[in-house]
Structure 1
């Protein structure tokens, strides 16, 4: 049976999140999401929520360099960074001491899929990697994290814009909480128990 989707939030009608969406959050830094194809149609994907709440965001779906050609072209004339942990990454606080960023690239996918995108797109390795000096508790309880201290894409972006630009990220976290509420109301009891809900 074909499901009906909300024309605004693009979630199924029975899990629509429109009532949780606040007025757009404005950021100086453009957020560019590189989304693995497997994430695009997942009901619990959080990049879709970011698109509903942020005014300065662009999303590209793919995995190979040709999928991200337009995104790569942005790096030629803008100051860019990649939100990704690593030995050469600087913290958000250190990034604040450098010239202002124009674009932050964010990979949306599991760690395995994110590593794959990074391996296939060497141009990303040329960007300054940025990370956090401390990771808050994961609030995305309905999707199992592969690693301890993992954050969803929404949580990572919201933490970045809060720390880097001082943008109030509570509307984003409230939207995430609302999406979780809508998703869990349809879950059988044994599934809720799996997530300690």
Structure 2
């Protein structure tokens, strides 16, 4: 049933488009059962943009989670916990309740015991959706800067305490991701003195421990309206399962062929290119994830209606569909999501032409 928006025109409550431009009826197979889960971190200013393509992913994919993220204007506090321990303690986790069903293979890759895939985040172009160098970790760890391979092998450089209760990492950042405090429980005190976030990530033992999955909880601080007082609120709490990758272009990003583990969860950032880069900086825990890039010779359908920072940037839905296919998710109906996106772009182009026509006649 259509609802009335602030402009009094009927609006679809599911896709938030004007009723005459509703996207829902264009989805041939709603809620596709995608085998590789998708987690979208969406900038808070992107949600209501008329050309935001996350709405298509929401309609079309079953194993999808969308989390709203806003800029840090004062400070933000993060707590990272073990996903396995969190599950054992019965903590609420929206879609990874069976983390104990994962086991470590000889190659250090986490597989589900019953052989099935787990459930459950591209950056869109400028004005909308588009998509530090770490040291060599060990002779066994294939550094991204050496031969572009990512391995999640077992390492013993520094022992990570087992069965640790409470947070693994707690840290606070200011605007643009500057870390102001950092506490961790991943190494003995004698090894962890003067250890900052980046150096912690340089430990293969720590990376191995975190590759088993973790839970991230974020609190933001904001100024109360008309007051100098600052209050803290919870922005999100999300589980990051084994086999997660982040689709984000950087010097450390590698292609699909360089990842030798089963991708089970795709994380994408949804916002303008500048907003996506800020989200990455202000969520430094994303550094814990292997970074993935798409090597495609394709022009985004956005090119005529939303400005792109450079050639090759794709919309969020384009990036998701192409990546799912690249990692082996051949769910029937993925191409239809691109057709729906193309039709949405066509709607926008026609509306623009109609406005220009009325202006010229007036």
- Report the TM-score, using the length of structure 2 for normalisation: 0.48
Query: Does the CA-based 8 Å contact 1:6-1:12 persist in structure 2?
Result: yes
Equivalent residues of 1:29, 1:101 under 8 A apart:
yes
After superposition, residues 40-119 of structure 1 pair within 5 angstroms as 40-63=47-70, 64=72, 65-66=218-219, 69-71=236-238, 74-75=239-240, 77-95=241-259, 98-119=260-281
SS, match of residue 150 in structure 1: coil
Q: Considering only CA atoms, is the larger Rg found in Structure 1 or Structure 2?
A: 2
Alignment partners' CA distance in 2, 1:164 and 1:144: 28
The structural deviation recorded for 1:109 is 0.5
Please show how residues 170-181 of structure 1 align to structure 2 within 5 Å.
170-181=335-346
Equivalence for 1:153:
316
Say whether the 8 Å CA contact 1:27–1:165 is kept in structure 2: no
* 2:187 is equivalent to residue 20 of structure 1: no
Stretch deviating more after TM superposition (48-57 or 86-95) = 86-95
Cα drift, residue 102 of structure 1: 2.3
Aligned length: 187
Change in CA separation of 1:183 and 1:177 when aligned onto 2, cut-off 3 Å: same
Q: Is the 8 A contact 2:34 2:329 kept in 1?
A: no
- C-alpha deviation, 1:189, in angstroms: 5.6
* Residue of structure 2 in register with 1:134 after alignment: 296
Paired residue secondary structure (1:70): strand
Distance of aligned partners of 1:137 and 1:125 in 2 relative to their CA distance in 1, 3 Å threshold: same
Question: Which residue of structure 2 lines up, in the alignment, with residue 4 of structure 1?
Answer: 10
- 1:28-70 Cα deviation digits (max 9, x unpaired): 2110000001101111100111111111111011135436642
More strand by share: 2
Deviation (angstroms), 1:190: 7.6
Alpha carbons of structure 1 residues 191 and 58: separation in structure 2 relative to 1, 3 Å: farther
| Structural RMSD (CA) | 2.1
Q: Is the 8 A contact 2:245 2:263 kept in 1?
A: yes
In structure 2, stretches of 5+ residues that fail to align are: 1-6, 73-217, 220-233, 358-362
SS at match of 2:287: helix
How far off is 1:191 after superposition?
5.8
Superposed CA deviations along residues 127-159 of structure 1, whole A, max 9, x for unmatched, are: 100011234111223212122211011111011
Structure 1: 5+ residue stretches without partners: 193-197
1:185 aligns to what SS in structure 2?
helix
What's the TM-score once normalised by structure 1's chain length? 0.85
Query: Greater helix share, 1 or 2?
Result: 1
